[in-house]
Every structure is written in structure tokens, then in C-alpha cells.
Amino acid sequence: MDKQTIIAAINNQQIKDVFAILDTLDLKDAAYDNIRKEFFDGSKSIDFTDRLLSFVYGLPLSVFNPSQLQTPQPTTAEAKQIITQLISEGNLGEAIAILPDENDFILQKAQYNQLQRDYNAGLLDNADLRQQRARIIAAIQYFVAKAQNLTLKRLPSNFQTGTGDGNIISGTGTGNGTLINKNTATTTKILFLAANPKEEANLQSGFELKTIKKEMKLGDKSEAFEFLHPEMAVTATEITRAFTQNPDFIHFSGHGQQKGIIIAKDDNTAQLLPNMALKLLFSKLKHKPKLVFLNACYSAEQAKTISEFGIYVVGNSLPVDDNAAISFAKGFYVGISEGKTIEEAFNDGLFILYTEFETHANLRASRLRTDAQTENDVQLWLNGQIINV
């Protein structure tokens, strides 16, 4: 029995078998207890499988092999720096997950888990969510600051800290540290943004994120990518904050119009983000992303605008079915996770789309037969031009 066996069982929805195995490990983890209770009570949240996968991925190797050494470990000062950095980058969930199960932190963990459940159930709007997250953050920062000894449960994924000798300690999410050369370490950060205002047609943004993460985890180059904290009902202010994390890939799942994309207000009603505002936003970025993926209808105009800054952009010239959009995204990120270029991955996305949705394949075939000027519905842009693939 090893970690990959358990992950495969989760992906095959053999959840009872998974818990039968995990129960033998004597985990003594509040997060695990909450996930387990959720399953057996029949109260699974929409992100249940994602959270279970995340928990298993984060288990240290010593759980499966007690003789496995967990070195190097951060000092208390470094542990405090890690937690502070995670919170400042918007990764509160990761900070919560690696904090020790001690009295000072147990209440904050429970409150955070309840907050996530309430938000996913639609019981909280964005304003309530931010207010309660701020309270949890303030409490964690207080207890971290006063801690005399702080031992993290594991190193966070893609954490890096200096060793003083020109190298860094890199956390892999397994609980163990690895020494790597600071001049060769690169990680591609992926920011997932979504908006599904209550007066708009319902989208499967949560399922889209789950699908993308699943495919990325299976890829040969999965360790080269890091998912930042997603914003599932993103507002204009949340976009500006999220961009300070310097994402390399920005993926938007939502609705679009020729004059802009639809994001959310604090009460989850629709807010148009016009093309002019998008142009202003990307024109002032010091860190230019490699890719912007606009999984929204009529997003070709926005794709053209953003691509003028030397950024690859995926957009749609026509209305796009939600399932078809997810199908293309799945194929695209399969290619990315295997180390392919953006243009090669775009072809992989088309391959999966045309295989799973015949109408899109027929549109493409008709265009090629007639040599018409009608463009493909899914487009890849760069420097203000469509790239022919």
C-alpha cells in the first residue's frame, strides 16, 4: 500500500476502501476527521474529492514508511515566515493545513472548515466570506507570533527558503525537504478565477477546476506547476489582489460578451469587466503571465486585446457549451502537464474537444473544406493575431 494506490482509488471513487486504508494509519488529524465524517454522514460538499485528494497528497512519506527521515525541517523562525508568506499570498487553506493540531490552532481550523462549507453551500456572500476570513487570519497571526516553538505538520507545496549557502530548501508537499539550486528552480503558478452571478446561466466552474487539477496531477511535469488559491466568485478588487501573486497562467471560467467578461459584485450579481478595463489591467502588470485562458463565450475580442501585450490567450469567437468548454480545457492542460508548449497543448485541447463533441469537429471540417474565412470557435491569440494551428 502506498500513496499512489490510494490516489488511484480516490480517482476511481472507491472512497470506502480509501477510508478503510487511511483508518489504519492512526492519522490523528482534525482535517481528516472532518472529511471522513462528511462522507459517512452523507453530507459531502461539492469539493469533497478535491479536499480528500489534497489531504492524501499532503501526507508525509513517513506515514507510509515510518523509517523515512523528514529532513530538513524549518526552524521556528522559518515556520513563522512560511505561514506569514502563505497568508500574504492568499493561501490561507494551505497555511491552515500545515499548522500543528494544538489548542491555539484547532479552533481556527474548525472555523475555517465550517466557513468553507457554508460558502460552498451558498450561505455566505463574498463580503461575509472576506470578513470571517479576516478574523481567522488575525487569530492565526496572533498565535503564530507568540509561539515559542512552532513545528509544521509538513512543508507546503513549492515552499522555498534560503539556506545561506546559495541553495534553497524546497517543500514538495510530502513533509520532506529537498535541496535544490536556487538558479534552476522554476515553478509555473496557475490562478483559477471564476464568476457565475446568480442572474446568469449556471456554470460548472467547480467541476472545471477539479477536472483541470486532476489532469495536471497525472502529468509527467506536474511538480513544475502550483495552483494558487482560486477565486470562485471573483470581483474586481479580488482580481487586483490575486494578480499581486504574479501568476504565470490565468484561467477564467465564466460568461462573456463582445464588450467584456462578466465577473461578480459582492452580492454575487453580475458586473461587466469591459475590454478597456482589461487592457488597462494588463498594460500595467510588471509580471506578464505566459497565458490567459478565457473559457467564456464571445471572448475573442478580449483575447485579441490581452494578446497585444505579448501574452498567449485562448478565447472563443462564438457561444460555447459548458461541457465542451471543459472538454477543451481538459485536453489543453493534459498537454501542459506533459511539458508541451502552449501551441502544442492547444492542439491537444482541440483533439479532445473534437473527439468528445462532434459538432465542433464538423464546424472545423466544414471550414477546411470550403476554405471559408469563418474562424474556428476556439482560438489561440498572440500579439493581436490568431495563431493558425
Tens of pLDDT, residue by residue over 292-329, are 999 999 899 999 999 999 999 999 988 878 888 999 99
Of 370, 328, 371, the C-alpha closest to 351 is 328
Confidence bin at 181 (pLDDT 50/70/90): very low
Three-class secondary structure of residue 291 per DSSP? strand
Strand partners, 295: 253
Mean per-residue pLDDT, 228-236: 91
pLDDT above 70 covers a percentage of the chain that reads: 82
In angstroms, rounded to a whole number, what is the distance separating the alpha carbons of residues 42 and 109? 22
**What's residue 280's pLDDT?**
95
Give start and end residues of each alpha helix (H) in the chain: 3-11, 15-22, 30-40, 48-58, 61-64, 76-88, 92-98, 103-120, 126-146, 205-218, 236-243, 275-283, 300-307, 322-337, 342-356, 358-370
- pLDDT of residue 182 exceeding 50, the answer is no
pLDDT band at 64 (very low <50, low <70, confident <90, very high): low
Map grid coordinates 501551441 to a residue.
343
Dihedral sign of CA atoms 172, 173, 177, 182 in order: positive
What pLDDT shows up at residue 363?
Answer: 52
Report the C-alpha gap between 139 and 132 in whole angstroms.
11
Kindly report the CATH number that applies to the domain delimited by 188-386: 3.40.50.1460
pLDDT value of residue 65: 56
Contacts of 215 (CB under 8 A, 6+ apart): 330, 333, 334, 337
**In the predicted model, what is the mean pLDDT of residues 359-364?**
54
Cβ pair 188, 248 in contact under 8 A: yes
Cβ neighbors of 202 (< 8 A, separation 6 or more) are 196
374 DSSP 8-state letter: P
Could you tell me if 45 and 122 are in contact, meaning their C-beta atoms sit under 8 angstroms apart?
no
pLDDT reading at 275 higher than 90: yes
Residue 73 pLDDT grade (very low, low, confident, very high; cuts 50, 70, 90):
low
- 8 A C-beta contact, residue 71 and residue 116: no
Alpha-carbon distances, residue 74 vs 156, 177, 193, 269 (angstroms) = 11, 9, 32, 44
* Residue-level pLDDT at 385: 92
Check pLDDT > 90 for residue 367.
no
Q: What is the mean pLDDT of residues 236-265?
A: 93
pTM reported for the whole predicted model: 0.54
- pLDDT reading at 112 higher than 70: yes
Q: Is the pLDDT of residue 247 over 90?
A: yes
Domain-by-domain residue ranges, the chain?
3-59, 76-181, 188-386
- For residue 87, pLDDT beyond 50: yes
Residues 270-283: b if buried by 16+ CB within 10 A, e if exposed: bbebebeebeeebe
For position 159, what pLDDT does the model report?
52
Cell output for 230: 482560486
Mean pLDDT of the chain: 81
The arithmetic mean of pLDDT across residues 163-191, rounded, is: 52
pLDDT of 44 > 90? The answer is no
Lowest mean pLDDT among 172-176, 264-268, 349-353: 172-176
193-217 average pLDDT score:
88
Is the pLDDT reported for residue 361 higher than 60?
no
